[in-house]
Structure 1
């Protein structure tokens, strides 16, 4: 049985938290604006990250850097269950500043799967607290302690936000795709902007970003849709505003990316706002 519980914590810099049990869910390659920090509770998850496939069994920790392309599916017949949070680079940068390590910036985690029983126990306790505690102070304290311990134990180097291409021609096309993400842009348009043939452009684009131009555009649309849903816009308005043909099209891509529907996401946001 597929089951998801989503939480949005406005008082924690807009932290998103997901608890899920999946058997058939198959996440296509995508990325998040925030980091993915997940604890596998049962079964095992198979996923792509950093150019390779990984398997995370029960009690292991999954680490995916912000804007890093990844996917996800079960590695067992029984599926997998996990809890995950998605802290932003800005939240991490604030923490490193607070502890006097400003030069670190946001962290970079080079390991996709971590086996750290001490940290895993702290993660489980933090997830439990975030799901039940009403005190903002208690939630902030637990989260910040967890993230500081994560940085201390597993950060490898300062993190440079991905997105600015090392190739100027691709950077121009990426900027155009972000600026006009709601338009029906063609491959020939993007290739012309980058001064490449369509064939060469699509190969270079995928090598640089890990996704096809269409997948990248869809990802950007979903991220913008989340922002609009958080601002209170209706789902049908958001679907049109970000460039999806209709609500069913929007629903399908949103769920494929997030693991929950736009309606479930909006409901969680509203419930948090009414507390």
Structure 2
């Protein structure tokens, strides 16, 4: 396998859907999450990853499904590494497809299986990603995206399980998450965050991990990376982005970005503006 590569594109469809064509051998993705879904098709090799409390292996031609905000990792499960194509529709984009296709009751889908082997869906996903990457025919691109997401939902989407509620902890945790999402650059302490949502620090950490898969400080990093991506898309410089998002310096920012996204922030920005 040749050197590691990752090519990101931001397509206009659905208000801007991110796609990735990647080839990795040594990349080890840290525990991270995306604002949107991860839908990937393994082109060669195999990938090992953590999702929903356990580890999974996705062989060649299988489909990786990670729900929005779901913590996951990624590394090679084969000697030569792995390559894959992926798209990252947001909850809003998936809901839009669902509504426009008449699937009102489904809304944003939930995928209970982390890996599925479905040759038909894999072919349609590959076709839609290839079209987004190479075709200039807007009608073809949008048709393939809608068709592939509809097919994926109809064959593999489930009803999202309702989490068990524990007194007033759930809305308090949601409030803490909302603060970290909306004030990603804020240098808030655990004590301050706990006081803000009327919970003890130890209880907040324990329940936040249980609910969102990461402790508050690690989730804050994910929120900062999401903000950073949006600023890079707008053409802002790396150092300005790093400081605006609350990172100590550009090196600290780059390290976290590469571990979560498999590409440096500079390369990410260059790919999107190519």
The normalised TM-score by structure 1 is: 0.90
1:236 corresponds to: 239
Q: Aligned match of 1:80 in 59, 63, 82?
A: 82
1:51 corresponds to: 53
Q: Tell me if 1:255 matches 2:258.
A: yes
Q: Judging changes above 3 Å, is the alpha-carbon distance between structure 1 residues 166 and 96 closer, same or farther for their aligned structure 2 residues?
A: farther
Q: Aligned match of 1:34 in 33, 36, 45?
A: 36
Q: Judging changes above 3 Å, is the alpha-carbon distance between structure 1 residues 172 and 230 closer, same or farther for their aligned structure 2 residues?
A: same
Q: Aligned match of 2:98 in 84, 96, 110?
A: 96
1:137 corresponds to: 139
The total of aligned residue pairs comes to: 267
Q: Judging changes above 3 Å, is the alpha-carbon distance between structure 1 residues 145 and 159 closer, same or farther for their aligned structure 2 residues?
A: farther
The answer to which of 197-206 and 135-144 deviates more is 197-206
Deviations 1:206-259 (A, max 9, x none): 111100211100000010111112222222211111111111111111111111
Counterpart CA distance in 2 for 1:9 and 1:255 is 22
Q: Judging changes above 3 Å, is the alpha-carbon distance between structure 1 residues 243 and 100 closer, same or farther for their aligned structure 2 residues?
A: same
Q: Do the aligned residues in 2 keep the contact of 1:6 with 1:264 (CA within 8 Å)?
A: no
2:214 corresponds to: 211
Q: Judging changes above 3 Å, is the alpha-carbon distance between structure 1 residues 156 and 212 closer, same or farther for their aligned structure 2 residues?
A: same
Q: CA deviation at 1:168?
A: 3.0
1:155 corresponds to: 157
Counterpart CA distance in 2 for 1:135 and 1:68 is 33
Deviations 1:182-221 (A, max 9, x none): 1222222223334444333322221111002111000000
Q: Aligned match of 2:25 in 4, 7, 23?
A: 23
Counterpart CA distance in 1 for 2:116 and 2:188 is 40
Matches within 5 A, 1:152-231: 152-157=154-159, 167-231=170-234
The normalised TM-score by structure 2 is: 0.91
Q: Aligned match of 2:270 in 254, 267, 271?
A: 267
Matches within 5 A, 1:97-136: 97-136=99-138
Paired residue secondary structure (2:187): coil
Counterpart CA distance in 2 for 1:229 and 1:254 is 12
Structure 1: gaps (5+ residues): none
Counterpart CA distance in 2 for 1:127 and 1:182 is 33
Paired residue secondary structure (1:111): coil
Q: Do the aligned residues in 1 keep the contact of 2:184 with 2:227 (CA within 8 Å)?
A: no
Q: CA RMSD for the aligned pairs?
A: 1.9
Q: Do the aligned residues in 1 keep the contact of 2:44 with 2:83 (CA within 8 Å)?
A: yes
Q: Do the aligned residues in 2 keep the contact of 1:106 with 1:159 (CA within 8 Å)?
A: no
